[in-house]
Structure 1
Amino acid sequence: MKRGDMDIHPSTVNASLVQFDARVLDPQLNLERMRALAVAQAAAGAQLIVFPELSNTGYVEPLEPGAAFSEASGGAHDYALRLYQAAEPEGGPFTEMLCCVAREHGVHVVAGLALRHPVLSGAMYNASILVGPQGVLGVYHKIHRWHLEKLYFIAGDTISVQQTPFGRIGMQVCYDIRFPELTRALMLQGADIVTNVWASFRQQDKPLEDEQIFTHRAYTRAIENGVFFLSCNRAGRQGNCRFMGRSLIVAPDGKVLAESRTEEEEVIQAELDLSAVARYRSFVGLLTDRRPDVYARHGAAPPLGAS
């Protein structure tokens, strides 16, 4: 590939979001299922495949402060150690498998994983990894940790965007979506596509109050920044909670291109027209109309990358 070729993007990319039910502390089963699902989506024409948050370990327990540990977790005693043992070591089996699938099928994959710290034994990150045919392209460590995640994961402190043949991808994880500065920083670093991987749940005996909660959030971040926003949530049950699914893909102008309306396992697919990013931003004036100098004078420091 010649220098500059990566800047010539294909006009479209086919994306698949895999609303996957991760088995608690069973990385081997999760790995085998993810491999099969990724290969199936590649065979169906997907070029970008996204898996939810903590797909290798299942979500951390207890799911809520004061709740009981699920039977599958093995209980409170030594749970943190079992979570660490289930987490991915540097260059571990999930990374190897995803890279192999990407290389053999010419696809890119984003997956939410619990990752062991490369040096500090017992320390972990809640992470999102991007791989392509050439190998690992980027790793994002979740900056904003939800509730009890703080007991197990070190907070990340780096924001970056990764170049792919079809555009620049920025990653975030679940709760990160509630902090608009992060998506804005990714946009200012050149992101055309932002992926958010979730493990968002509700108590099983309480209905979801707002069926459009994920749509509201993804729509807002998409139109604020003129990016394709890919929101991939978990499915299934863990303890007394259900993961809420409802993954969706939103275009830069807020149009919902694909969505799940279920809490069950499902794959949603959409073709992303990358030319829509420049079309929307140039029409709306998101970049020319911003006033970071004014925001800074009123206590809102310019995000990363602002001039």
Structure 2
Amino acid sequence: MEASPAPLAALVQMTSGIDPAVNLATIDHALADATARGAAMAFLPEMSLLLDRDRVRSAAHIAREADSPWPAALQDMARRHGLWLHTGSMPLLSDDGDRRVNRSHVIAADGSIRARYDKIHMFDVTLPSGENWTESAAYAGGGAIEVVDTPLGRLGLSICYDLRFPELYRALVDRGAELIAVPAAFTVSTGEAHWHLLLRARAIETGCHVVAAAQGGTHADGRATYGHSLAVDPWGTVLAEAAAGKGGGDRGYDLVLAPIAPDAVAGARQAIPLARSRAVRSIEI
């Protein structure tokens, strides 16, 4: 008896702009494509619905989740296309104030929201390239770790800069994660230096699949992002990778598929039993 084929994750690479309606139309087309190609679940990049560094201009579009049309629009798409959806992330106002949050949703094929996650780590850096980013000036970091059951396995949630904090991923594994989402909008300079390295490291050290849908190309707000949406198996092997650069050609998106083999996690963890081997000892110097 032949084994069933591994379910497919669809990674949607975008060059999201400053018009949410255009971004939503692009997502709708990409999800139709993912469904036609047999995906069980689609993954969008960070800030999939609105990527705009001008905080005054973007404010007109950003509301509390209860007042925003975006979650309902994506729920409708998941229902119509009949697949699970990780929304990447979207900017919303926090429920208890006027600061923003960078929030992911996991939506089931019936349109129900199964999980929410607010990005914990804020990207406050000055890069060697001269770029300066201060997310905390507008965004509040989240305070909760989230893991949710999906058709691809138990999924741990993170966003972009979270990737640099391995303790978060250990906590996700401790809560049963077998698959980790890392939607991102990496800068070109940090992407060239660290994107592949960090994603493969997180997969290897956790024994998880890692699925990282990314922004890629030159955006309407003037920034450039690295692209290279990536899926990595628990052994650190790259399963799928989107092209760099323009991020979509005539369609406005790139889409790559990655098989998420259900036995790969157990195999990697059995071969290198990190959980059994891990020890915390007091070392005197």
Q: Does 1:152 align with 2:138?
A: yes
Q: Any idea what SS the aligned residue of 1:288 has?
A: helix
Q: Does 1:200 align with 2:186?
A: yes
Distance in 1 separating the partners of 2:161 and 2:283:
26
Q: 1:201 to 1:123 in 2, by over 3 A?
A: same
Q: Does 1:271 align with 2:259?
A: yes
Which aligned pairs between 1:1-307 and structure 2 lie closer than 5 A?
12-24=6-18, 26-59=19-52, 61=53, 73=54, 79-80=55-56, 82-87=57-62, 89-91=64-66, 92-111=68-87, 112-120=89-97, 122-134=98-110, 135-147=112-124, 148-202=134-188, 208=189, 211=192, 213-238=194-219, 239-265=221-247, 266-291=254-279, 293-294=280-281, 297=282
TM-score by length of 2: 0.85
Q: CA deviation at 1:108?
A: 1.1
Q: Could you report, residue by residue, the CA deviation over 1:155-214 in whole angstroms, capped at 9, with x for unpaired residues?
A: 101002001233111111111000000111111111111010111123xxxxx5874732
Q: Is the 8 A contact 1:201 1:243 kept in 2?
A: yes
Distance in 1 separating the partners of 2:99 and 2:73:
23
Q: 1:165 to 1:262 in 2, by over 3 A?
A: closer
Distance in 1 separating the partners of 2:272 and 2:80:
40
Aligned residues: 262
TM-score by length of 1: 0.79
Distance in 2 separating the partners of 1:196 and 1:216:
14
Q: CA deviation at 1:250?
A: 0.3
Q: 1:11 to 1:287 in 2, by over 3 A?
A: farther
Distance in 1 separating the partners of 2:32 and 2:84:
11
Q: CA deviation at 1:116?
A: 2.0
Q: 1:288 to 1:209 in 2, by over 3 A?
A: closer
Q: Any idea what SS the aligned residue of 1:219 has?
A: helix
Q: Percent identity?
A: 29
Whichever residue aligns with residue 262 of structure 1, its letter is A
Q: 1:209 to 1:131 in 2, by over 3 A?
A: closer
Whichever residue aligns with residue 95 of structure 1, its letter is P
Q: CA deviation at 1:94?
A: 2.1
Distance in 2 separating the partners of 1:46 and 1:181:
31
Q: Is the 8 A contact 1:88 1:94 kept in 2?
A: no
Q: CA deviation at 1:54?
A: 1.0
Q: 1:137 to 1:209 in 2, by over 3 A?
A: closer
Q: Is the 8 A contact 1:88 1:113 kept in 2?
A: no
Distance in 1 separating the partners of 2:206 and 2:7:
19
